[in-house]
Structure 1
C-alpha cells in the first residue's frame, strides 16, 4: 500500500469517532504530488460577494466530488461559523439626530466594553478609571437594544430606535483570492489520475450546478501547476528535437539524413502510449522526463545505422548492398544499447515498493518506447532511407539527361 492508501484507511476509521468533525490526510510528499498524476490536491474556487450563496454552491460541489469515484477528503474551506450580533443602523434617522457611525460605535464600546474616563493617582502609582454599564445591565441582547446614546444636543435615545439588532451565524474568516471573496472546495485524488477525476467532476458541474448571478467558478490547486508544467515539458521536448536535428544536420552536412533519423521518434512515442495504456499509468511529469531521455537513445541507434550506411557507400558499395551490410554489421551494437537500457529500466518499471509509484512511469516509458523504436530503426528507417536516396538518384539522372 502507498502512503495515500494508508491515509485513506486511517481517515475512514477516524471519521467513525463522534468527537471528530473534520479530518483529512496528506502524504506530505511534495515531489510525489508534482511529478505523479495520481494523487494531488485539487481545488474548486467559488467566487462571489454573498458568502451564503457561495457556501451553498460549494456544498453542491462537495457533494458531487464525494460521489465521484477516486476522490477523498472532500472539505470546504468556509467553516460553519460562529454566533455574532449584526446591527443595521438606519442612516437617515441617525443623521437627522446628528449621530455618525463613529459616535454610535464609540458609545456602544464605552457602555459594554468600557472606556477610560479619568486616572487615579496614588503617590507614584497611576490607575485608569474604567467607565461602563453595571454587570446586570449588559447581559442579554435586550440590554443592548435598551442602551441609550447621547446625541449632540444632549438628548438620550434608545439604540433600537435607530438600529435593528439580530443574532446570526457569521464566518470565522473571509478568504479572498484575486481581490474577490472565495469559498474553496478541496479534495484529493487516490487510485485514479487527477486529470480524469477533475474531468468527470467538471462534466457533472456543467450539468447539475446552476450558478446565480455574481458567482463564478475556478479550478486550481496542484492540477493547475501540473498543467503549466506539462506545457513546459512539451515545449522542452519540441526544443530538444529541434536541437538534435540541428546538431545532426551539421554532422551529416545534410538536411535529409537527420530527417530520416528522426523518423523513428513518432513510433517510439507510439510505443510509449501503448506501454502507458497497458499498465494503466497516467502521463505524468516523470513520464515526460522519460520521453526526453528516450529521444537521445532512439536517435543514437538510428545515427549508428545511417552513419555506417554512408560510410559503406563512400567505399563504393551500391545503395541496396550498403543498407543490407549496415544492418548486418550494426545489428549487434543497436541491440546491445537497447537491451542494456531496457534491462536497466525493468526493475524501476516493475517495482511496487513504497515510493515506486513516483518513478515507475520513467521505466515504463523508456522500456515501451525503446522496444518499438528498435524495430523501427532496424526495419523502417533503412526502408525510408532507400526510398529517399533512390528518388534522389533518379532525379539526378533525369537532370543529367535533360
Structure 2
C-alpha cells in the first residue's frame, strides 16, 4: 500500500508542469502579439493612419492621440515586448530544470500582473480621457488579459510542485509601479504633436470645369415665309441674386487630376478678391475639421486681405458618400449638414459668412441638425432652403466634392480628414495649431 502511494507521488512529481491550459495561454498571447505588431508596424510606417481605421473612427481617435505613445514610443511596441516575453517564458516551465522553472514561474507571475495592470490603464484612458475605444487595442488587451488570468489560476499549483512560495502581493505592487511609470511618462512627457503631413501631388491637368450635360441642339427649322416683324418688348437683363462682382469665378483645381470645382458654388471665407486662395475639404461632424476651421478663420484675419478659403463640404457619411461602407455614429446626418451649407451658398452667398460664424460658434461640438436647418431657414427662407437642398445643383456639387476627396486620398495615399489644398499640395489632417497653419501658408504661398 505504501509502495503504491510512493509510486503515485513519484509519477505526480515527474508529471509536466504544463498542460492543455498552456496551449490556450500561448494561443491567446500569440494572437494578442500579432494584433499589437500590426498596430506597431502601421503606426511607425504610416504615422497612425492604420488600415481599417477610417477618418474620425474610434480607433483613429485613439491611435492619433498622445496617449498612444510613451516617451515618443508607440505603446503598441511596449505591449509587443511584454506579450512576447510572456509567450517565450511559458516554454521554460520544465520539471527537470528546477532553477530555470522557478525563474520562469516568477517571471510569468510578474508578466501576468503587468498585463492586467496595463490593460486596466489603457482601457481606462480610452474610456475617461479619449472617450473612444480602439477595437484592435481592446481585443489585444482582452486576449492577453485572459491569458494572464488562466496562468494565475495555475500558478499556485505549479509553485507548490516546485516548492516555491509565490508572493502575489509583490507581483501586484510591481504591476502598480509599472502603471505609475507609464502614467507619469504619458502625463508629464507627452509626445509633441507631429507636423502635419503635406503631400505635393503636382499640378492639375486641366483648368476646365467639369462638363455638365447639355441638351442636344434642336434641328434648324426650314425657312419660313417672310413676315413683317412685330415690335418686341425690350430685353430684360437677368441678374443672379446677391452675386458679387469681385468674387473669383476661376475654377478651383484639384491637384494631379482633371477635376476642377466651380468656385461660385462653394462657400468662401475671406475677401473674394484675395490674391491667395486655398480650399478645405471638411465635414462639420468631424472634430478635426471643426478645429481646422478655427485655425483658418484666424489665418484669414492674420493675413489681412491676402487670403481666402473655399470651404468644400465632404461628408464622411455612407448615405451619400460611396467611399464608406457604413456611417460611423459620429457622422450621422453628415450628408444633411453638408447639403444645408451648399444650399445656403446657392441661395444667398452674401449670407453664408454669417451662417458659418453661427454654425462654428463652438468648435468642440456640433449643433443639432434641426437647429441648424431652422437657423438656415431664418436666413434664406424655409421654402427656398427646402428647394435648394433637394436641387440637382447641390447634389451634383456634393458628388464633385466627394470625388475631390477620393482623388486626393488615392494620389496622396492618405484618407485623413480634413484635407487642405494649397496650390499643388494637400495637407492631410489638421495642423496642431493655428500658428503651425500660418507657418505652412507663409512657406507655400509666401505670405507675410
TM-score per shorter chain, which class? under 0.3
Identify the structure with the greater strand proportion.
1
Q: Flag the structure with more relative contact order, 1 or 2, with Cα contacts below 8 A and sequence separation at least 6.
A: 1
Structure number with the higher helix fraction is 1
- TM-score scaled by length of structure 2: 0.19
TM-score (norm 1): 0.20
Report the structure number with the largest CA radius of gyration: 1
